[in-house]
Amino acid sequence: MATGQPYTRLIRRLESIGALSEESRHFISQLPMTVRSYKTNQDILREGDVPTQCCLVVDGYLCRHKMANGSKRQIISFHIPGDMPDLQSLHLTRLDHNISTLGPAAVAFIPHAALREMLPRSRELTHAFWRETLVDAAMFREWVVNLGQREALARVSHILCEMTLRLQAIGLAREFTFALPWTQGDLGDACGISPVHVNRVIQNLRARGAIEWHAKVIKILNWEELKSIGDFSPEYLHLRGEHHDTRIEAD
Amino acid sequence: MATGQPYTRLIRRLESIGALSEESRHFISQLPMTVRSYKTNQDILREGDVPTQCCLVVDGYLCRHKMANGSKRQIISFHIPGDMPDLQSLHLTRLDHNISTLGPAAVAFIPHAALREMLPRSRELTHAFWRETLVDAAMFREWVVNLGQREALARVSHILCEMTLRLQAIGLAREFTFALPWTQGDLGDACGISPVHVNRVIQNLRARGAIEWHAKVIKILNWEELKSIGDFSPEYLHLRGEHHDTRIEAD
DNA sequence: CGTTCTATTGACTCGATTCAAACTAAGTGG
DNA sequence: CCACTTAGTTTGAATCGAGTCAATAGAACG
């Protein structure tokens, strides 16, 4: 996994949903960034915080989560390199959820001031960043559908499908195999099911020959079946290119 | 329910999350709008559509929803006067969900062209509209928590709390009483529970003396208890003003 | 005034949770 | 490098929240 410069990650992500001009890429490469490393399950931001900088995932996985009833954790989104999980803090001062690592991760921080100075100068980048937050919202909508209307087996399959395409879009999931440092408990908190049941679901998927998952590496053995079990259609990801019926060609 | 001009609704909504200058209010009042009336359960936009205008709720309720497994409907958000449920269409060309009425409604349409011309001229309005879409996303996040971590009684209570505050914020829910043209089935599609179970939950809330609901009018009898049952905290709505522990003063 | 949609109630079933225990992998310190 | 500790995975049994099916009652509509 070549680390690359933080801004390379960001450019690649922004380009996965829309074209960027040479000028925009230059603007981004000029943004000041401070990179920091985190261990597993470390909080990066907490509910109620008032951030003065935005974070950008460079390596590893982050998640956003909220607590319900004081103790139950709901994971709201997963974030991969190139994502800016708190872009919203540019316009909403107080954070309404937590941001933490899942597994070790590297995160870059960009001061709000730098972004606020850059955006008015580039309509294309304003557009791109705004759209980034809108795609974020689109994923939440699908997450709502996932939790509200699908049973456990489909929920888990759906999330695995989403991760596959998102990782492929930034070049981190060749051949349908990728690192996934989540515990089964994490996945349960994302799907709204108990860790015990996650385990049963995963064994079901293994028995069907749909996936292989061992030592924090997952391999999708039967993409079509996983999509079908998970009732998955990729339109909501608003990725560029066609329908992504199969991403095999996206080597 | 005084109808008022469409732009009055919009200004009021935008001001419920942040201040607007005189100039901004003027810009908005100059936007071209075409108002149309709809009956109950009419589609305004469908998944896959490529809108060329944004819609603004003037009167009544809209909802956004997606289908899962081809037949199950998940309602993703409710929209009240002043909301612009497809603001995102400014930057995401293809709609990934449906927008329909719940009960009769009046909707104003604003051409994308007019908004695209206005926004670059006003940093405040770009900020305000962007923030509007971010608050939208914040409500989705809470919706995810609601579906993922709370049981049926709490889910329903939580949504009723949310509607109360949102309606109060635009002056449509004095004294904790307001019109709600949803069927129990609609509410079930929003909470991810069956219509039969919605009925049982409502009767439970009635028996506790928490609400009264009859003839499409709901009255919150015990706000504190409803909040407590629904595990409700209003921060995610990002409304202006303090903590909204009680909104009685917001006459 | 019948047609249709919505609300209500009861009985049965099922997916998922909880509790508990066993097992395995991973990490720490001596 | 092993012994100990801790975190994560796996399995089974009992229980429960919610769904489904079905039938009835009531409200709204033309």
Here the CATH number for the domain that contains residue A171 is 1.10.10.10
Q: In this structure, is residue A161 part of a structural domain?
A: yes
Pick out the nucleotide with least CA–C1' distance to B215.
D27
CB B45 within 8 A of CB B24: no
Taking CB atoms and an 8 Å limit, are B144 and A144 in contact across chains?
Answer: yes
Of A115, A143, A171, the residue at which a domain comes to its end is A143
pLDDT of residue A175: 86
Residue A55 CA to residue A139 CA, distance in Å, equals 19
Same domain as B95, residue B47: yes
CB A93 within 8 A of CB A50: yes
Residue A1 pLDDT class (50, 70, 90 cuts): very low
What residue type is assigned to position B223 of the chain? W
pLDDT of residue B241: 67
Q: What is the pLDDT of residues B106-158, one digit of tens each?
A: 999 999 999 999 999 999 999 999 999 999 999 999 999 999 999 999 999 99
Please name the helix (run of DSSP H) or strand (run of DSSP E) that holds residue A104, with its range, or none: strand A98-111
What average pLDDT does this structure show over A241-245?
50
Same domain as B187, residue B244: yes
Selected for mutation to probe chain B from A93, A133, A134 (highest B CB count within 10 Å) is A134
Count of structural domains within chain A: 2
Which residues 212-231 of chain B have a CB under 7 Å from nucleic chain D? 215
Does the structure show a pLDDT above 60 at A174?
yes
Q: In what order do the strands lie in the sheet with A217-220?
A: A177-179, A217-220, A211-214
CB A23 within 8 A of CB A122: yes
Cα separation of the two ends of chain B: 15
Same domain as A182, residue A79: no
Residue B29 CA to residue B125 CA, distance in Å, equals 13
User: In whole angstroms, what separates CA A103 from the centre of its chain?
Assistant: 14
Residue A223 CA to residue A157 CA, distance in Å, equals 10
Q: In this structure, is residue A133 part of a structural domain?
A: yes
Give, as ranges, the nucleotides of chain C with any atom within 7 Å of a protein CB: 5-11, 15-20, 25-26
What average pLDDT does this structure show over A118-136?
95
Same domain as A124, residue A196: no
Same domain as A164, residue A221: yes
Residue A5 pLDDT class (50, 70, 90 cuts): confident
Q: Which residues of chain B have pLDDT under 70?
A: 1-4, 241-251
Q: In this structure, is residue A1 part of a structural domain?
A: no
Q: In this structure, is residue B1 part of a structural domain?
A: no
Does the structure show a pLDDT above 70 at A101?
yes
Q: In this structure, is residue A37 part of a structural domain?
A: yes
Please give the mean pLDDT across all residues of chain A.
Answer: 93
Same domain as A118, residue A82: yes
3-state helix/strand/coil string of A163-189: HHHHHHHCCCCHHHEEECCCCHHHHHH
Of A143, A178, A196, the residue at which a domain comes to its end is A143
For residue A166, count other CB atoms closer than 10 A to its CB: 22
Same domain as A114, residue A42: yes
Residue A176 (CA) to nucleotide D13 (C1'), in angstroms, measures 38
Pick out the nucleotide with least CA–C1' distance to A191.
C16
Same domain as A108, residue A72: yes
Residue B132 CA to residue B136 CA, distance in Å, equals 6
pLDDT of residue B2: 42
CB B34 within 8 A of CB A111: no
Q: In this structure, is residue B81 part of a structural domain?
A: yes
Token representation of residue B19: 């201040």
Chain A residues close to B131, C-beta within 8 Å: 91-92
Q: What is the pLDDT of residues A109-126, one digit of tens each?
A: 999 999 999 999 999 999
Q: In this structure, is residue B73 part of a structural domain?
A: yes
Same domain as B201, residue B125: no
pLDDT of residue A17: 87
Q: In this structure, is residue A55 part of a structural domain?
A: yes
Q: What domain range includes position B178? A: 151-250
Token representation of residue B228: 């407590």
Residue A224 (CA) to nucleotide C24 (C1'), in angstroms, measures 32
Same domain as A216, residue A165: yes
CATH number of domain containing A86: 2.60.120.10
Q: Is the CB of B112 under 7 A from strand D?
A: no
Same domain as A114, residue A81: yes
Of A123, A143, A163, the residue at which a domain comes to its end is A143
Burial zone of B241 (CB within 10 Å; 0-12 exposed, 13-18 middle, 19+ buried): exposed
HSE at residue A126, side-chain half, CA atoms within 13 A, is 18
Same domain as B160, residue B101: no
Q: Which of A68, A145, A238 sits opposite B74 (nearest CB)?
A: A145
CB A65 within 8 A of CB A71: no
Chain A residues close to B239, C-beta within 8 Å: none
Residue A228, C-beta contacts closer than 8 angstroms, at least 6 positions apart: none
Q: What is the pLDDT of residues A8-26, one digit of tens each?
A: 999 999 999 889 999 999 9
Please report the sign of the dihedral spanned by the C-alpha atoms of residue A28, residue A33, residue A38, residue A41. negative
Q: Is the CB of B145 under 7 A from strand D?
A: no
Residue B78 CA to residue B63 CA, distance in Å, equals 4
pLDDT of residue A6: 87
HSE at residue A92, side-chain half, CA atoms within 13 A, is 28
Identify the closest residue of chain B to A122 by CA–CA distance: B120
What average pLDDT does this structure show over A128-148?
97
